[in-house]
Structures are given as structure tokens and as C-alpha cells.
Structure 1
């Protein structure tokens, strides 16, 4: 029986409403009230640089007047502005004006016996003109038209009932970090997020590829809504209605495979396994399962997994709002009994709530098999135990929850118990809930947790829900859960659901610990359960093991002597990772983007019966296969 390889997490990065994910900085924004003062000041300074409030020049932080600032100065002067410009908040006008969103109002001009007479340029005539029009040539290029009536569309502006979203820190422009000309926003997020994850490792990609065969690398990434802004499918679909022309980029760049394709083509230069798996709001976990299974089976040795979503587009907001899925201002006012809704408290998982809050985000992680991580000295932040995906069976409503999540949650807990033991699950585990902030979710999801807790003997199961802070980023949502969990493992602080005053009365909370304040744990946590539910019956639950648990597992597999050598190599890798982290805190993200570089000369490919050698790659692709179905063949 072959030994399964453990998929360990050696890098993570991305950007969301809380800031940069690598180095745990986005997580630290979630629990900033509970951090030591030095960590709090460092987090505020990093965000202040991202937001353009201060700069870092010649080894020092400086304001617009070139005055040198210390961390305490930044926190005192810009702290409130940083806090106000992050997490969920009123939608910035850089997206659209929620009080006066552009639309077109149809109208009919002319009626009865009167006729319309108007002039226009010949080139502006419709093709072909309506047959009832009487057209008279005038001097120059103008014509006079006489018509009985005319259907027109007027530019109009109207209020959008949903006014809040989880947005990147105010003032931060993702496209400014690399040559992003004509890239849709979701692809800008994919590039900077994946680059952040790769650089967070502290290992050069070339170092990894020197010991890994080209086809032993995998990239699994996607998004749900594709790219719906003007540079993607949005512009493609609107161009004819607006009287414009489709560009050559809008169609290909709109595809929801692009968050993977851009990583392959412009960041890694990979020729390995690739895929873009979607499962509505559980998409990140769908991609994570594929990568983890490939690594455990030996199909690949390194995998980059992620999702990038940019859905703060008027049409998408309209769509979800029409479904009744989003928290509108009117709903919140009625819920709170006030005349003015708080735009920062629209997402209220497990509390009295009114719908979820849309968000943009890019989250990527890098996985390796345990043997490769040991060989390279990679810093291990956790490991993927299992990811389970199950559908709901027959459904009456495509958006309603169903029984599939019972299956995924129960299997994830049972699997973790089999691997780590009963005490780890009962005493040292916690849940990252889907926590979408809808009235139906708070009941159905908590009931699942309660029943699973009862069966496995769990009395006070800690539950966190990061959507309270950053909103619902659709495909990337589970990536936000994962990266927040890595922060919990490191700092021992479970983010409370601070947007609610109390847990709603209909929540099944007897065996759950749902806190409205950050919880400092009394002992290290061993495992996090990430739970995700998506429209259409797309349910997924993953178990993520803490780094100290992984260390114990590796020590058992490799022994003291080999682990000692690994620890020595790891110090160098950690030093390199810290150097990147410090540079990024100061605004130097050094985003990886190779356009037109390192192209493979296909005429230089060497091929024989045993291997295929690609120019530019140290290792060759192995072509020596054994018959997996030998017992069925002659």
C-alpha cells in the first residue's frame, strides 16, 4: 500500500477588504483591537501605505509633506482613516454611485395626429431607417426626418437599494502594481493575489522548478461571475446596446478560467496540470480538493490554488438584490428600527440579519507534498486534511440550502477524528462558518453544526464567520476562511462576530460558541473546519491542520535527524519571506508579471521513448508509464 503524501500549505497571499493576506496582515485587521500595540501599529502602517496615505522612501515612512513618521505617528494620525477605509463600507463612487446609478429609461415620443420633425447627421441614421420615416436631405451631411412616433431611451439615474460592499482598502488600485492595460479588475486581482502568494513562500519559483518535473505543477483557480466589468464580458454584452464596438480582448478575458490561465501564462510559465473548477460560493474548496487529491496521489508535487472575484458591478448587485439575497438599506432600517442604516454592519452572520453583502477579493495558496517541503526547507503554515463535496439531491429552489452540507460536515469531522484523534476534534477544533448573513442560513447551518457536535461529543464548538468583516466574495469566500484560519493558528485569536449584538433566538447555539468579541484561546487549536454552501446545492467542507500538528506528523514520518536538517534550511526560507513581507509593508510588492518573456522554442523540444525535455526547464517530463490495469490486460 502506497503512503499518501500530505498536502502542506507553504505560501498564501491575496487582497481583500482587510488588506494584504500574506504575512497574516489581512487577518490582523480583523482582530486589530486584540493585537499587541506594536503589531497593531505595523498593520495600520502597512494599510496606510496601500491606501496612499503615507509613503516609504529612503528607509522611512513619510507624509505628503515629506515629514518622517514613526509607526506610532501613523497610528495616531491616520489610524481612524485606515479603519474607516477598510472592511465592509458604503460602496465607493469609483465603482458607481449607489444613489444615482446610470440606467436607460424607455419612452415613446409623439402621439395622436401630431408628427415629429427632427434633424440629425446622415451617418447617425439607423440602418436601415424605419419604413415610415420621411427623410429629406439638407445642406452638408444633415437630414430632416418626419415621423409619426419615435421610441427612445433617455439616460436616467436611480437609487440602488444595496449600498454596502466589501471593497479593497480605499485608494488602493490593484492595476497600478503591474502593466495591467485593458485587464478586467478580477484578473488584476488574480495577478497581484497569486504573485503575493508565490513571493510569500520565501522560495524562488526557479528553485522549486529545479527539482520538480514540469508536469508535476498544477494550478487550479476560477471565479463564479467571470469578468463582468467593461474590459470583460460586461463590455462585450453592452457594446452593441451602447452603440460601441466589441474589443478583441473582452471575450477571452471574460472567461472564468482566466484566474488560472493568467497564473500559468504570466506568473509561473507553467506547462503543468491546470483547471478552473466552479461550485458557486464553494468554488475555492472545489479547486482546493482537486489540488489536494493530486498531491496526495502523487500526480503533482506543487499546486497553486485560488479564486479572484470582482463582482461590485451595478448589474451583478441588481441581480442578487432582485433575488432578495442582499441586505438592502430599507431591510436594515426596518430591522434596526432606525432612519439610517450602518453601512459597516450590513453583514451579520448568526444574528438578526437581512441578507448577505457582496465583496471583491483574491485569495491564493501554494501547496506542496510533504517530501518536497522537507527537501526545500519550505515554511509550513498548515496542511489540508480532506475536502468533501456533496450535492443536495432533488431541489425545489436552486438557491435554497439542502442536505448535502450535512454529508460534507459530518465526513470532514469524521475524517479529522480518524487522522488526529478524538481529543483534537472535541477540544481543539473550531469552525469557519459559511455565515452568509441570511435568515435562512443562520438557522440551517447552525442546525448542522449542532447535530454534528452532538454526535461527536463536542460541547462548546467555537464558530467564526469572516464574512462579517469582509463580506461575501463568492468564489473566493472559502479562501478567506482558510487564510483567516492560518492567522488563528498563529495568533490564537478567533475573530468574533462583532457586527451583531447577540446571537439570534432561532440559531441552534446550545453546543456552539458564537462570540460577539474576539476569543483568545487557552490552548493551541489543532484543526479548522471550513464550511461553504453555494447556490445550486454546491456544498463543501474542508479540514485544515495547524502547523504544530503538521510538525508532529512530519517528525513521525521523517525522524529527528532529517527534521533537524529541515529546520536549518527553513530559517533561510523564513528570512527571505520576511524580507518580502517588509518590502510589501513599505509598498514594494514587486508583482510578478512576465508578458512575452521566456517563450518556449518548440523547435528545441527533445523527445524520446523515456522523456520529453522542454527548453528552459531543468527536469524532463517522464514518459515511462506502468500499466495501471495490468490485472485486466494480457
Structure 2
């Protein structure tokens, strides 16, 4: 394995998930290996009435502002603070909280940096759908005067990138890639390019999503993508299990502060990990189903390894996309066993936090950074009986966290539309 001169330093992380609304609680929840899925009041009466929500509640009322934090004790509005939260949909608030955490973790102060050299790349798949639904109902029931003049800036997917840039006084490029469930990872890969080309000296990058609404959840259910274990929500998300039957929808956000390794060291900041490579590809196969053999995904993984200067045997850990759906898990298992025959330990965070859609790739990137730092691979929740037809050749971490020094890791992200992204991280 060669150390690449172009490695990018991860100097800060921020994370807001159903398992925890800060780094420590998120990591503890992930290592506990227990799903946090539960029934959600706003989904009562729907074909699937459960999910994984930040604070134990879903997207709040139809206005999209969110609730008071619910049983988890985390108050989204209080965490946002100030007087600007009223103009933000919930996914924007989650992104802003995670971005603030990441910047503070990096030891940076937006009041003192050159904002023209700071970029924001924030992947979002859907945007403020709850705000849109609410206003559509108001238009139908009450007429045009009831529609909010802030509907457009609240619902557009790039609202999160814009609000984060405003809050951080980041005046460099501000981008909002939408590659479905790969969006968060796409954002991190794009941020690496902004640093490599010299357009930015620092980028805050990640993903956010909050669509725990009856319309979206029912739409996923009608598509056949969601688990129907309504009698056992906490046991529903089970990546690579023989009896998996679909994913559990979640919400959340995660952000990373990325800068050139030399710049981080020059300001006396030790990197938490290094982003050594990123790769992307497209299946060009089907709108929702992955290409069964995983050849498209493999191209993304090999591109990430190539940029990092690694061969497959250099990889010591895989953070899998692991959705708990029959098709995705079969494809990914085939990919991992073919590309990594030396059987590096595999985990999948969605067993605990559910599928947070556009936020998933960023949340799993944070989990990968923490594995490298702590020398611990979290277990896959609910994996009591792996599907031996697809996963017999994989070293799936189950039941307990595995203590193991890990120097290198790859995180996979895949999305509807055939989007594939792989991120290669190295221990700093």
C-alpha cells in the first residue's frame, strides 16, 4: 500500500441520528447493535407505521418544523436556536446542527476564517416534502392565500446547503448533489475534488434527509422497498439476514470537515482520519434495482482504491450499504466476496439507525472514521441468521463490537437511479 500525497484530512465530524444526536451517543448506539426503530404517531394507520426518528419522533407536523424532540429527549428546534429556525424545514435543521458540530469538532471558528475559501457540499435526496404536502392541502382546502410565501425556499433540496453556508459564512462553492441514497457520499467525494483542484481550502460536506411523512413512507411501501414487520419494528432492519424483507426508513444528518492534510497539520490539527480516495459509477440498468452482479458498484470501489493507491488486499474493513432489502444485499454481498476475497470484517449501520436515505452515506462515513480511530467495528443489528446463499463468504460482525486495529476501510453507498459511490479512508 502506498500513501498518497493527495490525501484529504477529516478534521471534524458532526452527526444527528436516531441512535444519537451527537458523536458520542451515536457511537455508543451503533456499538450496542440494537435497532432504534419504533412506531411513529404520524404514521398511524399507514401500511408501514414505523421508522427510525431523531429524538424518537418523526418529521413532526405537516409544517415540517418537527416536534419537541419526543421520547429521545432531543429537541431539534432548541438545538438550532436563534430566530431563523422558523424558515427551515426539518431536514435543513438537522443539517445545520450536524454542520455546527463538525466545525466545532475541527477547532474552527467561522468568525475568523476566510469564508471565500470555504465550501459547502450537502447531499439531499428529496427536500422539504412535508412542507410541500402541507401547503398543497392548504391550497386545496383554503385557497391561494393560505399558501406560505416561504414554501419554495423551505422545500427545495439545496435549502440545506444554502442555510449551512449562511450560518457558517461560507462563500465558496455551495453544492447540493442529489444521487438518491448515495447523496451524502457523493457530497464527500465532490468536496475532495474541490480541495484537489484548489477551489477551496476547507469544505463542510455530508448529507441530510427527513421524510418520515405518510406520503413518502407509503410510497416506499407501495414500491415494495420497506419491511412489513409491523409487529416487530425493532427487529425489522436486518442487513444480510436470510429473512430480510425490506429497509426501515429513517432520518438524520452527518457532516465532515475536510481540508488538505498539510493545511490541517500546519494549523496544529491532527486529522481524525484521511480520505484517501473516492470513486463513482452508474449501473445504467434500472431506476430502482441494482445491477445484480454488482459490476457497476465494483467500478466505483476500484476507482476509490485506485485513487488511494491501494489494492483490494490493503482494505481491512468494509462499511456496507446494507439496506436489508433482498436485491441490494445480494448484490453487495457478491461484490464484497468477489473484490475482497481476504474477508475483511463487514458492518452495516442501517441495522441500528435504519435507512436515512441521502444522509446514509455521510452517517456511514462518520462511522468508518470512528472505527479507524477507536479500533472497533460495530455489529450488524438483528443479524441472527445470515443468508448463507449470499453471505457465506463474508466476515459479518454480529452480536458484539469487534475490537480490531483497522488501518484502512472502504464505505459503500448506492442509490436509486443506479448511482454508486465508494469512499476509501485511512487511519491518520
| TM-score for the superposition, normalised by structure 2 | 0.88
Within the alignment, does 1:171 sit opposite 2:119 as a pair?
A: no
In structure 2, what is the equivalent of residue 282 of structure 1?
A: 182
In structure 2, what is the equivalent of residue 9 of structure 1?
A: 10
* Deviation of the 1:4 alpha carbon: 5.4
CA contact (8 A) 2:184 2:208 kept: no
Q: Bigger relative contact order, structure 1 or 2, given CA contacts below 8 A and separation 6+?
A: 2
CA contact (8 A) 2:185 2:365 kept: no
CA distance in 2: counterparts of 1:530 and 1:242, whole angstroms: 46
In structure 2, what is the equivalent of residue 542 of structure 1?
A: 423
CA contact (8 A) 1:27 1:483 kept: no
In structure 2, what is the equivalent of residue 258 of structure 1?
A: 159
CA contact (8 A) 1:163 1:329 kept: no
* Deviation of the 1:6 alpha carbon: 2.7
In structure 2, what is the equivalent of residue 384 of structure 1?
A: 275
Selected match of 1:412 from 299, 304, 307 = 304
CA distance in 2: counterparts of 1:21 and 1:7, whole angstroms: 23
In structure 2, what is the equivalent of residue 90 of structure 1?
A: 38
* Deviation of the 1:515 alpha carbon: 2.5
Within the alignment, does 1:304 sit opposite 2:304 as a pair?
A: no
CA distance in 1: counterparts of 2:305 and 2:123, whole angstroms: 27
Aligned to 1:365, what secondary structure does the other structure show? Answer: strand
CA contact (8 A) 1:478 1:532 kept: yes
Aligned to 2:233, what secondary structure does the other structure show? Answer: coil
Within the alignment, does 1:240 sit opposite 2:145 as a pair?
A: no
CA distance in 2: counterparts of 1:465 and 1:329, whole angstroms: 19
In structure 1, what is the equivalent of residue 104 of structure 2?
A: 199
CA distance in 2: counterparts of 1:530 and 1:256, whole angstroms: 24
* Deviation of the 1:182 alpha carbon: 4.2
In structure 1, what is the equivalent of residue 235 of structure 2?
A: 345
Aligned to 2:388, what secondary structure does the other structure show? Answer: coil
* Deviation of the 1:428 alpha carbon: 5.6
In structure 2, what is the equivalent of residue 494 of structure 1?
A: 377
Aligned to 2:129, what secondary structure does the other structure show? Answer: coil
CA contact (8 A) 1:16 1:470 kept: yes
Within the alignment, does 1:187 sit opposite 2:187 as a pair?
A: no
Judging changes above 3 Å, is the alpha-carbon distance between structure 1 residues 4 and 294 closer, same or farther for their aligned structure 2 residues?
farther
CA contact (8 A) 2:278 2:304 kept: yes
| Structure 1: gaps spanning 5 or more residues | 34-82, 99-158, 331-340, 548-634
Aligned to 2:125, what secondary structure does the other structure show? Answer: coil
Aligned to 2:16, what secondary structure does the other structure show? Answer: strand
In structure 1, what is the equivalent of residue 59 of structure 2?
A: none
Judging changes above 3 Å, is the alpha-carbon distance between structure 1 residues 270 and 97 closer, same or farther for their aligned structure 2 residues?
closer
Summarize deviations over 1:516-574 as a string: whole Å, max 9, x none: 2234234x211111111111111111101112xxxxxxxxxxxxxxxxxxxxxxxxxxx
Selected match of 1:161 from 27, 36, 47 = 47
Superposed, 1:453-464 pairs within 5 Å as 453-454=340-341, 458=342, 460-464=343-347
In structure 1, what is the equivalent of residue 65 of structure 2?
A: none
Aligned to 1:161, what secondary structure does the other structure show? Answer: coil
CA distance in 1: counterparts of 2:216 and 2:234, whole angstroms: 20
Summarize deviations over 1:567-604 as a string: whole Å, max 9, x none: xxxxxxxxxxxxxxxxxxxxxxxxxxxxxxxxxxxxxx
Superposed, 1:476-555 pairs within 5 Å as 476-510=359-393, 512-522=394-404, 524-547=405-428
Aligned to 1:241, what secondary structure does the other structure show? Answer: helix
Summarize deviations over 1:431-469 as a string: whole Å, max 9, x none: 111101011122111001111124xxx2x2211000000
In structure 2, what is the equivalent of residue 430 of structure 1?
A: 317
Selected match of 1:400 from 273, 284, 289 = 289
Summarize deviations over 1:463-518 as a string: whole Å, max 9, x none: 100000000111000111111112212222211113121211221432x2013223
CA distance in 1: counterparts of 2:9 and 2:180, whole angstroms: 25
* Deviation of the 1:5 alpha carbon: 4.0
Aligned to 2:336, what secondary structure does the other structure show? Answer: helix
CA distance in 2: counterparts of 1:11 and 1:279, whole angstroms: 24
RMSD: 2.0
Aligned to 2:54, what secondary structure does the other structure show? Answer: coil
CA contact (8 A) 1:12 1:21 kept: no
CA contact (8 A) 1:163 1:328 kept: no
Judging changes above 3 Å, is the alpha-carbon distance between structure 1 residues 259 and 449 closer, same or farther for their aligned structure 2 residues?
same
CA distance in 2: counterparts of 1:297 and 1:491, whole angstroms: 32
CA distance in 1: counterparts of 2:37 and 2:152, whole angstroms: 32
Selected match of 1:439 from 310, 317, 326 = 326
* Deviation of the 1:225 alpha carbon: 1.2
Aligned to 1:530, what secondary structure does the other structure show? Answer: strand
Give the total of aligned pairs.
400
Within the alignment, does 1:315 sit opposite 2:215 as a pair?
A: yes
CA contact (8 A) 2:279 2:302 kept: no
CA distance in 2: counterparts of 1:308 and 1:453, whole angstroms: 30
Aligned to 2:399, what secondary structure does the other structure show? Answer: coil
